[in-house]
Amino acid sequence: MSMCQDEPEVPLILTTNKEKTNATWKTEYKQHYTESQANVKKQRNMENEELSRFLDVVAMSATAM
């Protein structure tokens, strides 16, 4: 692959401000989405633990009768 001598050498990656903004936005959105998913999972786990404890108490009460 040969280049003409009169052509200036162009960097392989040309990044505009818009591209930088989009990349930053995507990164921040992905991080926020990941954190949100983790928070939802944590909340569900806590709710499941509470429900499990409640059902254990109900089961103990039922067997005590």
Does residue 2 fall inside a structural domain? no
Q: Which two tokens stand for residue 16?
A: 């505009």
d(CA 53, CA 14): 58
Total-model pTM: 0.53
Q: Give the count of domains, the chain.
A: 1
DSSP state of 5: T
Does residue 45 fall inside a structural domain? yes
DSSP state of 9: P
As a 3-state breakdown, the chain gives helix, strand, coil percent values, each rounded to 5, of 75, 0, 25
Does residue 9 fall inside a structural domain? no
Residue-range definition of the domain harbouring residue 53: 29-65
Does residue 33 fall inside a structural domain? yes
Does residue 3 fall inside a structural domain? no
* pLDDT tens by residue, 17-62: 888 888 888 899 999 999 999 999 999 999 999 999 999 999 999 8
Residue 8 banded pLDDT, cuts 50, 70, 90: low
Does residue 51 fall inside a structural domain? yes
Does residue 64 fall inside a structural domain? yes
